[in-house]
Amino acid sequence: MAYNRFKLKDLEEKFGIQNFNNAFITHQLPTVEVSDFLLKTLSLASKEALGTEKAKSELVISPVIKYFKDCNADSLSYFSGYEFNVDTKQGLNGFCDYIISTEPHKYTIEAPIICLVEAKKGEIEEGFGQCGAEMYAAQLFNEQAGHRKKAIYGCVTNAFSWAFLKLEKESLSIDPNYVPLTFNEPHRVLAVLQWILNCSL
């Protein structure tokens, strides 16, 4: 088994993780500035064919995550397409789309706080199991390394809709209020990511 094989029911059956609809994202999000460069990048993306997961990843998701990282370069590192093997016997292994950690300027993964999954075929809900498994692996990884975090966060996105998750011990909250992203309005997604980082530092 690997992360991408997990469903929500597998998390409950294997690890006792209960999932809940829970609007945990604060209404008082931090104010974020969005650069002209990012807006130009997204504007150019709007003129491209975005019918594949790869195109959405390269032209929309990656620029947003990279900009978030650049705005917080002294607070975090991010890893794209890295193998994250925590417990192969339990299926907590495989490649992750994105992992964000609170250890800056790192070459290897340390203190992960956000696991981001690109939705397959645009189906966000189908990615919840995979994201939850990666989040649980990150929780175990941090405990083993002595980096205890109150919560691990996750996100499943098809580029234009971003669903956020929060894992606290064996409780997985899925915020039902998906955050939209448009080519000229990435602000709220960036604000939620910034809020998560602020909560985790």
Q: What percent of the chain has pLDDT over 90?
A: 96
Q: What is the DSSP letter of 92?
A: B
Question: Contact, 131 vs 117, CB < 8 A?
Answer: yes
d(CA 152, CA 115): 8
Cα atoms found within 13 Å of the Cα of residue 67, Cβ hemisphere only: 23
Round to whole Å and give the CA distance between 31 and 34.
10
Instruction: Give CA torsion, residues 198, 170, 3, 6, to 10 deg.
Output: -130
Q: Which stretch of DSSP H or E encloses residue 183?
A: none
**Pairing of the two strands 112-118 and 152-157:** parallel
Q: Look at residue 63 and give its three-state secondary structure.
A: helix
Give the chain's end-to-end CA distance (angstroms, integer): 32
- According to DSSP, the β-strands at 77-83 and 95-101 are antiparallel
Per DSSP, the three-state class of 109 is coil
Residues 109-153 pLDDT 10s: 999 999 999 999 889 999 999 999 999 999 999 999 998 899 999
Look up residue 90 and give its DSSP letter: G
> H/E element holding 135?
helix 128-145
C-alpha 27/C-alpha 49 separation (Å) is 34
pLDDT of the chain, 201 residues: tens digit per residue: 799 999 999 999 999 999 999 999 999 999 999 999 999 999 999 999 999 999 999 999 999 999 999 999 999 999 999 999 999 999 999 999 999 999 999 999 999 999 999 999 889 999 999 999 999 999 999 999 998 899 999 999 999 999 999 999 999 999 999 999 999 999 999 999 999 999 998
Residue 16: which domain range? 3-46+53-200
Per the structure, the count of domains in the chain is: 1
DSSP state of 65: H
Q: Is this structure's pTM higher than 0.75?
A: yes
